[in-house]
Amino acid sequence: MAARPDAGRSRVLPAEGGGVPGEKEAAAAAADQPGDLRSVLVTSVLNLEPLDLDLFRGRHYWVPVSQRLFGGQIVGQALVAAAKAVGEELQVHSLHCYFVRAGDPSVPVLYQVERTRTGRSFSVRSVKAIQHGKAIFICQASFQEVQASPVQHQFHMPDVPLPEELQTQEELIQQYLQDPNLMEKYRRGLNKMLAQEVPIEMKPVNPPDLFHQNPQEPKQLFWVRARGHIGDCDMKLHCCVAAYISDYAFLGTALLPHRHRVRFMVSLDHSMWFHAPFRADHWMLYECESPWAGGCRGLVHGRLWRRDGVLAVSCAQEGVIRVQAPPTESKL
């Protein structure tokens, strides 16, 4: 869907000053990010139309080949709706949500916000996403007044090549397409992937076996950022963009050890915890791992790291995975 820069524009939350720690280090790495090209994630995808008090309408920008609504879009839009029901002094620290019905990409989504609790330090907002008169998604987001704490620790960021040293996902696909022995069904699939207007840039650290010929460890690392410029603004907006990004290629981590053809894969729930300020239009390292799969479900954990080594976001998701038996042989 084409972006409508002026129609139903959501209020872009103002900057709170101080900037993001590590901004100087990130500035050089972000030099190739166009400063005058506004990210479509801000102008369209996360730009909700207000209909009434605590009632909003969201439209769709990118729909996966599965023709189901992208879960990250629903999570991001729901967090935008929740953020509009709290004061600017509060920042989101966590969200927990469930996908209860498949989304219909042919109609908009209504987001209904309930102001569950407003406290001195913490406030909770509940969001219900509705299509055809039924809830397709429910979410609770918790917001906190910024508070200093002497209790602080974090894991260490993995030691990986910088994004400037790696190829984008599109460049890797172009390399696969140059193989004259590539089977036609794979060529068609790769061309479909290239044709999609995904508003995310991604650079895999260790590109997985695209055609899944060999079992792999259920872990993957990739640098990721929003396409286009977002800039300095209220951290809640960057958190909404990160919510969108966090669902992309996430659940697929649980499939890496297995050589099964997927019949059906969809998210059941999604949780996020926001730890430190960040810029979603700067490169962040997304560390994904799947500690368990079974019962037709897969569990994945994720961590988004700023390039200066600060842990910015933690994620967790479980999804339904139904597969066919592995092929007896697989050749390009």
d(C-alpha 76, C-alpha 189), whole Å: 27
User: Active-site residue 267, yes or no?
Assistant: yes
3-state secondary structure of 147: coil
Q: Which of 247, 281, 290, 314 is catalytic?
A: 247
11's CB contacts (< 8 A; 6+ apart) are 84
Alpha helices in the chain (DSSP H): 23-29, 40, 71-83, 169-177, 184-195, 235-246
Q: Which of 77, 267, 290, 314 is catalytic?
A: 267
3-state secondary structure of 163: helix
Query: Around Cβ 156, how many Cβ atoms within 10 Å?
Result: 8
User: Active-site residue 67, yes or no?
Assistant: no
DSSP 203-267: EESS---TT--S---SEEEEEEEESSB--S--HHHHHHHHHHHHTTT-GGGGGTT--PPEEEEEE
What's the angle, vertex CA 138, arms to CA 132 and CA 143, rounded to 5? 140
Structure tokens at 22: 């590590």
Q: Are 142 and 93 in contact (CB under 8 A)?
A: yes
CA 54 to chain CA centroid, nearest Å: 24
Q: What residues are annotated to the active site?
A: 247, 267, 317
